Structure 1
Amino acid sequence: MPIPTHPSTSPEDLKSALAGFCTGVAVITALGPDGRPAGMAVQSFSSVSLDPPLVCFCPAHTSTTWPRIRAAGRFAVNVLAEDQRELCRRFAVSGGDKFAGTPWRPGGNGAPLLDGALATIECELTDVLDGGDHAIALGRVTSLTAHRDTGPLLYFRRAWGRLTIPRGARSGIRCVRSQGAAAS
């Protein structure tokens, strides 16, 4: 069923409004049906439920990578660290061998786990829902590991950034923008 919109809401207006919402960045990976790794950068990763453990991400219907991940039936979420901006750029574009020069190892479900990720979350694809021009992919968490004690790569106002925590502060985290906008 199509999602109704207000007649004055354009895709560009929505993008501009949502640019003010800071998100983390992840790379969704899978071993495609042909045995080759597939991966795509997403900002749309989110926790859905703790019991049972469920997560989701929202790939565009126009994605050339999403059909390979969907066909695999299982995937990994690689939560990117603040020093993985170039890796994010590589996985944010269509085409090419995104895994060339990218160190990874197979997870328990076969999906590529990227070296240097803050965390890896292995999942079984349980459902795919319609979300307008995107799909909503729901995954049941089967395994997870936190790897690094560093800050996350963030996306805010169409640019990458990182967290800075003032020395001695327990709260008051602020986002510092970095140069270089991500591909839309």
Structure 2
Amino acid sequence: MDITPTAVPADITPAYYRQILGKLPTGVTAITGINDDEEKLGLVVGTFQSLSLEPPLVMFCVDKSSSSWPKLRKLQKFTANILSDDQIGICRSLSRKGPLKFEGLPCTAGPLGTPHLHGATAYIDCLVTAEVVVGDHYMVVGAVTNMEDGTGDALLFRAGKFGQYQPVEIPAPAETVPVAAESAS
């Protein structure tokens, strides 16, 4: 199924679209798998999120030009490693092309045999249940089979830069004092 719109307004160029949507921070997630030859596979996405609570489903989007996704797709299972804010190096390693993506990256096999990257803030093991073409991306849906809490806060990406979550104190609303009604004379 392809749910790509047929008409795009001329003033919404790819650069302008990226400028506007880049204002919204996203989490950084490494999608990992391992093939029958025990080759570790991985890619990084910024569009990983919860899709359904019952049943537990997640989704992520990956560019159709990805050279890693066709290899991962064949496995029909993956781990979503939610990267922690000190794992920019891991993000960069898994974002490059070629077979050396996992060189020097400590990981262990999760319940599906897929790599769990040491130090991630969470691990979500999934079976692929759907893939939909959406514009220049594939939207992939995964059924959650296992989840593990890790350490640290999630790595964020916004406007072309990495960052971390900083909580903000929001003051409680001031109590409203009822205004006395004027008496009619």
User: Which interval holds the TM-score relative to the shorter structure?
Assistant: 0.7 to 0.9
Give the Cα–Cα distance (whole angstroms) in 2 for the partners of residues 151 and 118 of structure 1: 6
User: Pairwise mapping of residues 23-172 of structure 1 onto structure 2 (< 5 A)?
Assistant: 23-148=26-151, 150-165=152-167, 169=169, 171=170
Letter in 1 for 2:24: F
Larger radius of gyration: 2
Letter in 1 for 2:97: S
TM-score, normalised relative to structure 2: 0.86
Counterpart check, 1:12 vs 2:15: yes
Moved over 4 A (4+): none
Deviation at 1:33, TM superposition (A): 4.2
Letter in 2 for 1:136: M
Post-superposition Cα deviations, 1:80-113, rounded to whole Å, max 9, x if no partner, equal 1111011111112222411110000111111101
The runs of 5 or more residues in structure 1 that have no matched partner are 173-184
Kindly indicate whether the alpha-carbon contact (under 8 Å) linking 1:123 and 1:140 is maintained by their aligned counterparts in 2: yes
Give the match for residue 176 of structure 2. none
Aligned-pair identity (%):
33
Kindly indicate whether the alpha-carbon contact (under 8 Å) linking 1:33 and 1:71 is maintained by their aligned counterparts in 2: no
Post-superposition Cα deviations, 1:46-87, rounded to whole Å, max 9, x if no partner, equal 110010000011111110100111000000000011110111
TM-score, normalised relative to structure 1: 0.86
CA RMSD of aligned residues (A): 1.5
Number of residue-to-residue matches in the alignment: 168
Letter in 2 for 1:29: T
The runs of 5 or more residues in structure 2 that have no matched partner are 172-185
Give the Cα–Cα distance (whole angstroms) in 1 for the partners of residues 36 and 65 of structure 2: 19
